[in-house]
């Protein structure tokens, strides 16, 4: 397996499916080594999910839109988990105040710009989802989309749901391709966010099958973790967050 040079240029990086098994084991090991941090950052996800659910409470339309959009903002919140894995890797002490402030400490670097891109991406998804509702349900849906679930069991409603799922999957994978390597890379190296995101795209392109499987694993495990009132995220997210750092380290030794 090749690596990246100091400028972030890809040099024929190749990952195998065995790498995915290995990084999951390493992710589990990091979670066991520092469970307090994993539970804390997972709690941020859970709280955010419950707030989004409350915003859409009693409205099937908004619950669907916000639930599909929720995974789009998740990668930025994983930076704290990356920092924990980085410190464990280096044998550095785990200082709670420093780890909690890692994003604030990075405010003069490039991570906030990557976060801004993710926020803009989320806003675009919300706008796009509204447009799909209007396209399938009529312009009146912009004022108040139908909230009765029976509307979505009709032919038009099912077409809308399938289109939302398909477009959401494409947009989510594109965001995954932009951030899978770039976020840990920005935390670890002195590169700009454009270079980091282009590097992440190239790594995804060069390892498309492996990265597709990795993205699907993240999506399926996260979806399953959402079912019991987001409580499964307390286990799934720390492991995936730590594993994502180790996947990055296999690309950038």
Whether 181 maps to a domain, the answer reads yes
Its domain, for residue 241, covers 17-251
Number of domains present in the structure of the chain? 1
Task: Reply yes or no on whether the pLDDT at 144 is more than 60.
Answer: no
State mean pLDDT over 121-137. Answer: 79
Task: Reply yes or no on whether the pLDDT at 9 is more than 80.
Answer: no
Going by C-alpha positions, the residue among 213, 146, 142 that lies closest to residue 176 is: 213
> Any residues with CB less than 8 A from the CB of 245 and at least 6 apart, and which?
27, 30, 81, 82, 85, 86, 184
Whether 12 maps to a domain, the answer reads no
Whether 7 maps to a domain, the answer reads no
How far is Cα 240 from Cα 243, in angstroms, rounded to an integer?
A: 5
Residue 199 in contact with residue 110, Cβ under 8 Å? no
Going by C-alpha positions, the residue among 153, 181, 151 that lies closest to residue 249 is: 181
Percent residues over pLDDT 90 in the chain: 36
Residue of higher predicted confidence among 158 and 173: 173
SS3 100: helix
What does the block give as tokens for 165?
Answer: 């799922």
Whether 4 maps to a domain, the answer reads no
Residue of higher predicted confidence among 119 and 183: 183
Q: pTM for the complete prediction?
A: 0.79
Band (pLDDT 50/70/90 cuts) for residue 10 is very low
Whether 3 maps to a domain, the answer reads no
Whether 170 maps to a domain, the answer reads yes
Task: Reply yes or no on whether the pLDDT at 48 is more than 80.
Answer: no
Whether 2 maps to a domain, the answer reads no
Residue of higher predicted confidence among 180 and 161: 180
């Amino acid at each position: 397996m090749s690596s990246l040079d100091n400028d972030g240029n890809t040099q024929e990086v190749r990952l195998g499916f065995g790498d995915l098994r290995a990084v999951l084991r390493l992710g589990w090991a990091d979670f066991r080594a520092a469970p307090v941090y994993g539970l804390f950052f997972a709690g941020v996800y859970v709280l955010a999910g419950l707030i989004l659910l409350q915003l859409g409470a009693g409205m099937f339309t908004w619950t669907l839109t916000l639930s599909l959009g929720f995974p789009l903002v998740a990668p930025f919140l994983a930076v704290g988990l990356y920092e924990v894995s980085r410190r464990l890797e280096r044998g550095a002490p785990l200082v709670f105040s420093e780890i909690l402030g890692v994003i604030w400490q990075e405010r003069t670097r490039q991570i906030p710009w990557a976060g801004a891109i993710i926020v803009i991406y989320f806003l675009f998804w919300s706008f796009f989802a509204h447009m799909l509702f209007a396209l399938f349900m009529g312009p009146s849906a912009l004022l108040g989309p139908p909230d009765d679930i029976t509307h979505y069991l009709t032919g038009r409603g099912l077409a809308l749901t399938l289109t939302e799922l398909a477009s959401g999957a494409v947009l989510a994978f594109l965001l995954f391709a932009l951030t899978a390597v770039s976020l840990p890379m920005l935390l670890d190296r002195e590169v700009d966010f454009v270079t980091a995101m282009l590097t992440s795209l190239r790594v995804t392109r060069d390892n498309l099958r492996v990265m597709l499987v990795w993205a699907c694993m993240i999506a399926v495990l996260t979806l399953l973790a959402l079912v019991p009132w987001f409580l499964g995220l307390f286990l799934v997210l720390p492991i995936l967050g730590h594993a994502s750092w180790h996947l990055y380290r296999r690309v950038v030794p």
